[in-house]
Copies of this chain bind each other. A is one copy, B any other.
Amino acid sequence: MPTATGEKVWIIPDGYIPEHSSGTLTSHESICVLNTASEDAHLTITIFFEDRDPLENIAEVVAARRTKHIRTSSLAKEGTPIPVGVPYAIEVKSDIPVIVQYSRLDATQAENALMSVIAYPIK
């Protein structure tokens, strides 16, 4: 039976949703999660800010043997989304090991800019 691989806690210090988009693509960030296990992974995502208390424990599910590329603009805690144009940081916790990568497409200008990191695993 396929087993879970990776770690249960992942950190992304540099989160930022660009305020503007130009051209044909929209600025966005994705938290990309892979669940190699034969059971679902239940995530709780916490968003840290520079000047206010964290948005804690936003729930997401990644199905068994599936990936999920989560747009950060879709995350909300009791109706409060992540504000645009504000520096923040992300903690992803999972009940079973998963692997997490973070990517940003910045389309502030007409042409794209891309960045990506494997999140930092807390072991």
Contacts and interface: CB of A to CB of B under 8 A. Distances in A.
Contacts of A109: 23-25, 110-112
A50 B25 contact: no
Given A11-B5, A65-B53, A69-B14, A114 B113 contact: yes
Main secondary structure on A side of the interface with B: strand
Contact of A66 (B12, B32, B50, B68): B50
Copies in the complex: 4
Given A14-B32, A101-B120, A114-B115, 15 more contacts: A13-B33, A13-B99, A14-B69, A14-B103, A24-B108, A24-B109, A32-B89, A48-B66, A50-B68, A51-B66, A67-B87, A67-B89, A106-B114, A116-B116, A116-B117
